[in-house]
Structure 1
C-alpha cells in the first residue's frame, strides 16, 4: 500500500506574525495526532529563499499518511473540521498537493 503525502500551502489575508503563529499552533493542536499519520511538519515560508521558482505562501503543512484510507478518514475527522472552522476566515488561498509516495 502506498503512503499518501498531503501538502497544504496557506496564503493568509492577515499574515502578521500573530496570525501565522495562530495557524501553526492550530495545525499542531488539531492536525498532528490523527490515526495513520506517519510524519507531520508545519512551518512558515523562508522568505530569504526567493528564487523565481519558489512559490509564495505564508504557512506550509505536510502530513504523510500510512495510506489513502487514513487520509480519507482525516478529511472528515472532527478535529480537522474544527481546524478549518477556526482558521478559514483568514485564508486568502489554500493550495493542496496530494501524492502517492513511491519507494
Structure 2
C-alpha cells in the first residue's frame, strides 16, 4: 500500500512539474527519474529555506547531467493518503542511469550537499526507470 501511494505521488509530481514549468524547462525525459525528499531539522526557519533554495537552484543551473527538474513544497494535505511531512521535494530527470551516476559525482552536486547537509535531518531518494509506452 505504501509503495502504491508513493508511486502515485511521484506520478502526480512529475505531471505537475511538466504542466507548471513547460515553458522554462527542456523536454521531459522519461528514461530515468530521480526523486528526493528532504526533511529539515528546522522546517520553519526562513534563512534555512532561502539557503537551500538558492544553493539547489545554483546546483541545478550548473548540472551537466540534469535534463529537467522540479522543486516542490508539500501542499496542505486534504486526503489521508497524502504525505505532507517533508520540507522539500526534488524531481530530476536524466537520459540514462549512467547520466544520473555522473550527476552524483559532479562538483555542483557535491557543493550543494556540502552547503546544505546541515539543514536536513532526513533524506529519502526514489530512483525510477521509465516504462515503455
Q: What is the Cα deviation at residue 41 of structure 1? A: 1.0
- TM-score normalised over the length of structure 2: 0.69
Q: What is the Cα deviation at residue 50 of structure 1? A: 4.1
Structure 1: 5+ residue stretches without partners: none
Say which SS state the counterpart of residue 8 (structure 1) adopts.
strand
Say which structure, 1 or 2, has more relative contact order (CA 8 Å, 6+ apart). 1
Structure 2: 5+ residue stretches without partners: 1-29
1:20 paired residue among 49, 69, 93: 49
Max Rg structure: 2
Q: Choose between structure 1 and 2: higher helix proportion.
A: 2
1:8 maps onto 2:36 in alignment:
yes
- TM-score normalised over the length of structure 1: 0.87
Aligned positions of 1:41-60 closer than 5 A? 41-46=70-75, 48-55=76-83, 56-60=85-89
Count of aligned positions:
101
Say which SS state the counterpart of residue 37 (structure 1) adopts.
coil
1:69 paired residue among 85, 93, 98: 98
8 Å contact from structure 2 (residues 38, 86) kept in 1: yes
1:34 maps onto 2:66 in alignment:
no
Deviations 1:4-42 (A, max 9, x none): 100000000011233223212211111344223221111
The root-mean-square deviation of aligned C-alpha atoms, in Å, is 1.6
Say which SS state the counterpart of residue 90 (structure 2) adopts.
strand
Say which SS state the counterpart of residue 94 (structure 1) adopts.
strand
